[in-house]
């Protein structure tokens, strides 16, 4: 028998013995390996951690294999040696990434092992595999174990061992797949970085899929749909899937449901894959959780579909495009810091949130160090910011009483002239910032800025982390508290009451403007409701609202 | 020389130390069979060097590191892919160890080693 003609029998059948393989048979196997790897490409990509999480091993291996296959797709070459050389040539030309290069070397060695022989028997098959392994190992001075190289080595060894028992290449391939599976599972023991990341080696896994695809082809199992493994609910990592959104992944739909009949996973998965991508299924306590990314027009289909399978307990849907847009927004909006000429006065600002940084930058800050209540920047970070500025006259605004000391320490460590304007809050910092004159007299400007600290009252609204009696205010853990210039003055059960109550305690009569900076832990809706209430309560005041982006504090309020 | 201030004093890392890190991760990169001393004549490039700082040039510019690598590659691999993964590996390991950005890595392939003829 010189060809694998997949019989129509069902999965898992006993394979007929194969003792000879020719070029066309090899071509079929390569195609099957490629198809199966393509099907599982994303799974392999998700494993990538080495050397940097770039997540493209699967893609690189598919492209390499695709190039190899393109070389032979038109060929009817029956000589297996010649076929193998063409495959190796294609893989070499198309090799992409580290794993792709190694894969091409495996093919190259394999082809050399076959030389230009007409057909291959079990003995030759093993010889070619070993030659492939040797060639791959020759390509590096210091092979890193726990990678695709290790898997190739283990596979060659297993195949060699199998030869002692059988000369049936199908059986040997079964052994190969089983060993590849085991070998991949062992990779974290050999390569610590994998263990740290809690994954197996991606290239090794890719090689496993290639061999498994060949075997599935022989067993007449489908190659186009991945086999789902149901994971425990707790292990589902849905946030990970956010990393890369492809076209057609507009909505994320997560459905929890209790199937009325035992779930046929293969069918379930198959049906889902017609609707979208990034499919994950988790199970716990009889409840299944299904996760899928779907294009806009399909957004209700997964829900309707699961409804037919049992009882839906929960549905959540998220617009990924909008999510990506906000992610991009915060990631990519570069701060426009004020340019500084030598000799000018520059200001280094410690800022607790992205929005606040932006406001300081718009007022002429030359450098921003991020830090705040629970994330005090180090002396070194502030010092670096000071040193990097092209001027030797620097003013630092710590904007938090816990950071003033670190700022002072950094001032003592540089030869530059540095003045710390001890702003204890963001509103104080902003008030001081307004007095900056970059070309003014250094001492004079600094003095003005210090004086400006008193022009503003600071209000802060946050959630109490513990119960306490302070300044005659009794606070229970979890309540919303209002602080006036750092002192607790108000405690309430909700944000709205806390804000209004706080403003009452601050003497707003002789003030004209209230500016609110809302944090990253409050929704825009809530913000709008509260600000409307404040506007109604203080009709004579000018009320301003900014996205501060600070953690912990729902609101930082400046009252001027 | 590169110094980074902290509260206790300065830290100096010599180019040679960085070259050693780069050398290690270069020879662990797939496809690379050795480093070649950059000043050897072309024909001698196959004399593989043992000294970890040979075949590697490290320069500092402002607060960033620039590296030149002179390598010998296994015959029969796709050189472009190999060179790129060398760049990635070296940048990753140097940045991880030193904490300063590596802005430039030039890979010079000085020769091929033929261990198998096809």
Report which of residues B60 and A32 the model is more confident about. A32
Strand extents, DSSP E, A410-467 = 417-420, 457-463
Per-residue pLDDT tens digits for A378-416: 888 888 888 888 888 999 999 988 888 888 888 888 888
* Chain A residues closer than 8 Å to B109 by CB: none
Q: Quick one: CA torsion of A72, A78, A82, A86, rounded to 10 degrees?
A: 0
**B84 domain residue, yes or no:** yes
pLDDT at A35: 94
Residue with tokens 């589902």: A236
CATH number of A457-559: 3.30.1180
DSSP-derived letter for residue A426 is H
Confidence at A55, pLDDT banded by 50, 70, 90: low
Contact between A97 and B74 using a beta-carbon 8 Å cutoff = no
Report which of residues A247 and A527 the model is more confident about. A527
Report the pLDDT averaged over residues A169-182: 94
User: Cα–Cα distance between A271 and A290 in angstroms, integer?
Assistant: 12
Q: Does A67 touch chain B (CB under 8 A)?
A: no
* Chain B residues closer than 8 Å to A380 by CB: 5-7
Confidence at A120, pLDDT banded by 50, 70, 90: very high
Q: With a cut of 90, say whether residue A27 has pLDDT above it.
A: yes
Contact between A97 and B34 using a beta-carbon 8 Å cutoff = no
**B118 domain residue, yes or no:** no
Q: Does A59 touch chain B (CB under 8 A)?
A: no
Confidence at A136, pLDDT banded by 50, 70, 90: very high
Confidence at A223, pLDDT banded by 50, 70, 90: confident
Q: Which residues of A18-55 are buried (b: 16+ CB within 10 A; e: fewer)?
A: bebbbbbbbbbbbbbbbbbbbbbbbbbbbbbbbbeeeb
**B32 domain residue, yes or no:** yes
Q: What is the CATH number of the domain that holds B24?
A: 3.30.70.1350
Q: With a cut of 90, say whether residue A329 has pLDDT above it.
A: no
User: Cα–Cα distance between A75 and A90 in angstroms, integer?
Assistant: 13
User: Cα–Cα distance between A502 and A96 in angstroms, integer?
Assistant: 62
Interface of A with B in 107-136 (CB under 8 A): 108-109, 111-112, 135
Contact between A139 and B74 using a beta-carbon 8 Å cutoff = yes
pLDDT at A332: 42
> What is each CA distance from B44 to A228, B38, B41, B69, B86, in whole angstroms?
55, 10, 5, 16, 22
User: Cα–Cα distance between A186 and A191 in angstroms, integer?
Assistant: 9
Please give the mean pLDDT across all residues of chain A: 84
* Number of helices and strands in chain B (H, E): 2, 6
* Chain B residues closer than 8 Å to A113 by CB: none
Q: With a cut of 60, say whether residue B14 has pLDDT above it.
A: yes
Topology of the domain comprising A335-454: Rossmann fold (3.40.50)
Contact between B77 and A139 using a beta-carbon 8 Å cutoff = yes
Q: What are phi and psi of A554, to 5 degrees?
A: -65, -40
Percent with pLDDT over 90 in chain A: 35
The answer as to CATH 1.25.40.340 being correct for domain A23-218 is yes
pLDDT at A334: 62
In B, minimum Cα distance to A100 occurs at: B81
Per-residue pLDDT tens digits for A453-507: 988 999 999 888 777 777 778 888 888 888 898 888 888 888 888 898 888 888 7
The model's pTM is 0.54
* Chain A residues closer than 8 Å to B84 by CB: 97
CATH number of A246-320: 3.30.70.260
Contact between A111 and B118 using a beta-carbon 8 Å cutoff = yes
Cβ-contact A323, A348 below 8 angstroms:
no
* Chain A residues closer than 8 Å to B7 by CB: 379-380, 409, 413
The domain of B58 spans 2-113
In A, minimum Cα distance to B28 occurs at: A142
Tell me the nearest-neighbour CA distance from B113 into chain A, angstroms.
Answer: 9
Which among A89, A93, A101, A51 has a CA at the least distance from the CA of A206?
A: A101
User: Cα–Cα distance between B116 and A133 in angstroms, integer?
Assistant: 13
* Chain A residues closer than 8 Å to B85 by CB: 97-98, 101
Which among A437, A459, A455, A457 has a CA at the least distance from the CA of A446?
A: A437
Tell me the nearest-neighbour CA distance from A61 into chain B, angstroms.
Answer: 12
Contact between A101 and B31 using a beta-carbon 8 Å cutoff = yes
Tell me the nearest-neighbour CA distance from B111 into chain A, angstroms.
Answer: 14
**B58 domain residue, yes or no:** yes
Cβ-contact A35, A223 below 8 angstroms:
yes
Cβ-contact A367, A397 below 8 angstroms:
no
Per-residue pLDDT tens digits for B44-89: 444 454 566 678 889 888 778 999 999 999 998 999 999 999 998 8
Per-residue pLDDT tens digits for B88-115: 889 988 988 888 889 999 999 988 888 7
User: Cα–Cα distance between A230 and A280 in angstroms, integer?
Assistant: 8
Contact between B115 and A138 using a beta-carbon 8 Å cutoff = yes
Report which of residues A377 and B109 the model is more confident about. B109
User: Cα–Cα distance between B30 and A99 in angstroms, integer?
Assistant: 9
* DSSP calls for A146-203: SSHHHHHHHHHHHHHHHHTT---HHHHHHHHHHHHHHHHHHHHHH-HHHHHHT---HH
pLDDT at A91: 93
* Chain B residues closer than 8 Å to A97 by CB: 81, 84-85
pLDDT at A233: 56
Report the pLDDT averaged over residues A433-438: 89
Report the pLDDT averaged over residues A237-252: 56
Cβ-contact B30, A102 below 8 angstroms:
yes
> What is each CA distance from A167 to A23, A80, A110, A131, A159, in whole angstroms?
19, 18, 18, 19, 10
pLDDT at A432: 92
User: Cα–Cα distance between A111 and A135 in angstroms, integer?
Assistant: 11
Tell me the nearest-neighbour CA distance from A65 into chain B, angstroms.
Answer: 14
Cβ-contact A458, A503 below 8 angstroms:
no
pLDDT at A5: 42
Q: Quick one: CA torsion of A89, A49, A333, B101, rounded to 10 degrees?
A: -90
Q: Does A48 touch chain B (CB under 8 A)?
A: no
Give me the number of domains chain B comprises.
1
Contact between B85 and A92 using a beta-carbon 8 Å cutoff = no
ipTM of the complex: 0.78
Which of A220-229, A233-242, A427-436 is the most confident on average? A427-436
In A, minimum Cα distance to B63 occurs at: A388
The residue ranges of every structural domain in chain A are: 23-218, 246-320, 335-454, 457-559
Tell me the nearest-neighbour CA distance from A138 into chain B, angstroms.
Answer: 7
Contact between B29 and A98 using a beta-carbon 8 Å cutoff = yes
* Chain A residues closer than 8 Å to B72 by CB: none
DSSP-derived letter for residue A246 is P
């Amino acid at each position: 028998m010189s060809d694998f003609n997949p019989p129509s029998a069902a999965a898992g059948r006993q394979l007929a013995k194969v003792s000879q393989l020719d070029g066309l048979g090899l071509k079929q196997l390569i195609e099957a390996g490629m198809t199966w790897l393509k099907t599982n490409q994303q799974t392999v990509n998700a494993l990538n951690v080495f050397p940097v999480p770039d997540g493209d091993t699967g893609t690189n291996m598919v492209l390499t294999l695709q190039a190899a296959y393109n070389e032979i797709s038109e060929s009817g070459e029956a000589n297996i040696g010649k076929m193998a050389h063409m495959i190796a040539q294609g893989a070499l030309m198309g090799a992409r990434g580290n794993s792709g290069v190694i894969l091409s070397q495996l093919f190259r060695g394999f082809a050399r092992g076959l030389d230009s022989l007409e057909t291959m028997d079990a003995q030759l098959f093993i010889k070619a595999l070993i030659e492939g392994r040797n060639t791959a190992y020759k390509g590096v001075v210091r092979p890193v174990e726990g990678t695709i190289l290790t898997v190739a080595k283990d596979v060659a060894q297993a195949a060699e061992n199998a030869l002692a028992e059988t000369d049936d290449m199908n059986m040997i391939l079964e052994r190969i797949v089983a060993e590849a599976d085991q070998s991949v599972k062992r990779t974290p023991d050999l390569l610590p970085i994998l263990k740290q990341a809690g994954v197996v080696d991606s290239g090794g896994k890719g090689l496993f899929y290639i061999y498994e695809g060949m075997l599935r082809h022989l067993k007449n199992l489908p190659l186009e749909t991945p086999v789902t493994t149901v994971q425990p609910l707790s292990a589902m990592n849905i946030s990970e899937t956010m990393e890369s959104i492809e076209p057609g992944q507009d909505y994320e739909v997560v459905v929890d449901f209790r199937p009325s009949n035992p779930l046929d996973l293969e069918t379930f998965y198959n049906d889902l894959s017609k609707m979208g991508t990034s499919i994950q299924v988790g199970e716990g306590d009889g409840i299944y959780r299904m996760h899928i990314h779907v294009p806009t027009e399909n957004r209700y289909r997964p829900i309707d579909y699961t409804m037919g399978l049992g009882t839906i307990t929960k549905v959540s849907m998220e617009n990924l495009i909008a999510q990506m847009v906000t992610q991009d927004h915060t990631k990519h909006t570069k701060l426009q810091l004020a340019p500084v000429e030598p000799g000018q006065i520059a200001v280094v600002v410690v800022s607790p949130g992205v929005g606040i940084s932006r406001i300081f930058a718009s007022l002429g800050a030359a450098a921003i160090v991020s830090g705040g209540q629970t994330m005090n920047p180090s002396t070194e970070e502030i010092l670096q910011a000071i040193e990097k500025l092209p001027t030797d006259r620097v003013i630092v605004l710590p904007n938090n009483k816990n950071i003033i000391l670190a700022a002072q320490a950094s001032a003592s460590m540089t030869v530059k002239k540095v003045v710390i304007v001890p702003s204890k809050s963001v509103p104080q910092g902003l008030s001081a910032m307004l007095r900056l004159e970059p070309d003014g007299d250094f001492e004079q400007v600094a003095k003005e800025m210090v004086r400006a600290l008193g022009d503003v009252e600071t209000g802060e609204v946050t959630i109490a982390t513990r119960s306490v009696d302070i300044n005659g205010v009794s606070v229970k853990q979890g309540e919303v508290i209002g602080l006036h210039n750092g002192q607790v003055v108000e405690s309430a059960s909700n944000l709205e009451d806390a804000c209004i109550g706080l403003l009452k305690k601050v003497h707003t009569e002789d003030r004209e403007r209230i500016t609110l900076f809302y944090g990253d832990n409050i929704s825009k809706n809530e913000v709008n409701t509260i600000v409307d209430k404040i506007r109604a309560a203080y009709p004579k005041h000018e009320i301003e609202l900014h996205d501060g982006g600070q953690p912990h504090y729902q609101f930082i309020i400046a009252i001027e | 020389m590169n110094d980074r201030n902290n509260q206790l004093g300065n830290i100096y890392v010599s180019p040679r130390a960085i070259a050693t890190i780069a050398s290690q991760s270069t020879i662990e990169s797939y496809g690379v069979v050795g480093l070649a001393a950059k000043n050897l004549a072309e024909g001698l490039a196959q004399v593989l060097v043992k000294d970890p700082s040979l075949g590697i040039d490290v320069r500092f510019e402002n607060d960033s590191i620039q590296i030149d690598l002179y390598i010998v590659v296994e015959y029969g691999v796709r050189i472009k892919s190999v060179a790129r993964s060398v760049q990635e590996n070296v940048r990753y390991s140097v940045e991880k160890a030193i904490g300063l950005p590596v802005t430039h890595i030039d890979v010079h392939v000085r020769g091929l080693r033929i261990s198998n003829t096809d």
